[in-house]
Structure 1
């Protein structure tokens, strides 16, 4: 049984706890918040008594083996480092860090400490993501891929009213590519690996983060277009086009439906049943890695490639974070 603590007391933390407990491989033992009363209120829902408002005290506690980090993006890497240095396994919400330099430092340190470092990228662990992978050979020679994830932020109204919510604040390493575009980008890298090259475009808000944008990943025989937005809602499916057919995927972030359309054949529904809370699958994989003591695992390569692309894309479109000037130690 993996004894784990959580950093963050928002809805996504509740979702991960629900998913982790459902696997039967975790025991929630600790909750952290900057305000101890807030941590205690959150912990009471789960019958947990160990609460912290001191991160160092939590990281050094003998009462937990692992931590789930769901704080603002800019805090993911330094908090992960703190727990890694105390020999704790870390599952950090995407993006795992603000930039590629932080990712590389985290990976090096985690492997030196012999602990599992894992990015909570739910997309690539779902059963229907495996269905996409299985369907690709049925398309013949792949030619065009369009991956779209556009979701109007619930905080955009506050931003337009003159507030400065975390979700549109570069101090917290935010923006559309970091928060939204990372899903389809991670799906592309998970399926096809590192591209030969890429181009990036983005529209910036006055706050300094990107509101929406597009990446084009260039492979030898095909391109992948990644469309993302935090200021508009998208309803179209993602699409994989081959010379012998087309694959449609509903909701690329969770892969809710997969349908194969081969030329001259009836549409083939390839969707398999999934847990409603798809974080269940990332929790299962994290537990498997810990149990196997698999500190060096293939998903770290995907995380590195994605972070390197996002870091360079931000440079191209002009998004700069304070974290880019800091050294992780």
Structure 2
């Protein structure tokens, strides 16, 4: 069993713990929060779990093998460094870090310490994503793809009311692209690799982050459009267009459904059943890498490409984080 510690006491941490435990490969052994009281309150529903309010103490303890980091985006990289330096494996919530410089530092440090570094990008590990990859040859030469993830933020009204929630605050390395745009972008990179060039557009909020935007990834034979928004809801599916057919993908961040449309042929339903908690598959993939000792794995390259693109896109749009100034 993999002994799991977690940083973060929010809903996404609960969801990852549930996913990890359901895989049958993890045992929750530690919870970190800024106060012992908050850590104990969160841990109480999981039985006997050690609680920490010191990152260094947790990192240097002998109660965990791996830490799952679900703190605000700006803290992902500095917290990951603490654990990598202590020889612990790291699962970092997306995005793994604020920019490509931080990502590269983590990758290099993990290689030096020979620990497993893994970005929790659920979109690319669910079974229906594998269905998409296997179906691509049926489309013929790929010409166009449109990946969209637009979701009106539950925190947007607070922002409009004059508050400054984390999700719209550059201090926490947030905004539309880094919060939800990384899902369709990561899917595009996992399917098509690194583009030859990229264009980016975004609409800024007064707080200094992007409200919504669009990336276009340019390849030799095709363009991939990535649309994202935190201030509007999207209801249309994503699609991949080839000369012989088109794949329709429902909810690209979890791939709820996949359909194949080929010219002059009946529509083919390709969807396979998935766990309701899509995070289970990223937990299972980490466990596979952990047990096989695969420190240098495919996901790291994808993380680096995505981070390089988001760093460049933010520079074009005008989104700057404190982490960019270091």
TM-score grouping bracket, smaller chain normalisation = over 0.9
C-alpha deviation, 1:149, in angstroms: 0.3
The runs of at least 4 consecutive aligned structure 1 residues that moved more than 3 Å come to: none
Q: TM-score under structure 2 normalisation?
A: 0.99
- Residues 169-248 of structure 1 aligned to structure 2 (within 5 Å): 169-248=169-248
> Which residue is 2:279 aligned to?
279
- Residues 1-329 of structure 1 aligned to structure 2 (within 5 Å): 1-326=1-326
C-alpha deviation, 1:100, in angstroms: 0.2
C-alpha deviation, 1:48, in angstroms: 2.9
Q: TM-score under structure 1 normalisation?
A: 0.98
C-alpha separation in 1, matches of 2:39 and 2:288: 28
2:28·2:49 contact (CA, 8 Å) conserved in 1?
A: no
Residue ranges of structure 1 left out of the alignment (5+ in a row): none
C-alpha separation in 2, matches of 1:307 and 1:110: 17
Deviation string for 1:83-104 (max 9, x for gaps)?
0000000000000000000000
Residue ranges of structure 2 left out of the alignment (5+ in a row): none
Deviation string for 1:192-249 (max 9, x for gaps)?
0000001000000000000000000000010000000000000000011111111100
C-alpha deviation, 1:80, in angstroms: 0.5
Deviation string for 1:56-91 (max 9, x for gaps)?
111111111100000000000000010000000000
Q: CA RMSD of the aligned region, Å?
A: 0.6
C-alpha separation in 2, matches of 1:48 and 1:269: 45
C-alpha separation in 1, matches of 2:154 and 2:71: 18
C-alpha separation in 1, matches of 2:246 and 2:64: 47
C-alpha deviation, 1:49, in angstroms: 3.3
C-alpha separation in 1, matches of 2:289 and 2:128: 21
Deviation string for 1:8-43 (max 9, x for gaps)?
010000000000001111000000011211100111
C-alpha deviation, 1:140, in angstroms: 1.1
SS in 2 for 1:148: strand
SS in 2 for 1:133: helix
C-alpha deviation, 1:325, in angstroms: 1.4
C-alpha deviation, 1:141, in angstroms: 1.1
SS in 1 for 2:46: coil
SS in 1 for 2:213: strand
SS in 1 for 2:227: strand
C-alpha separation in 1, matches of 2:211 and 2:48: 39
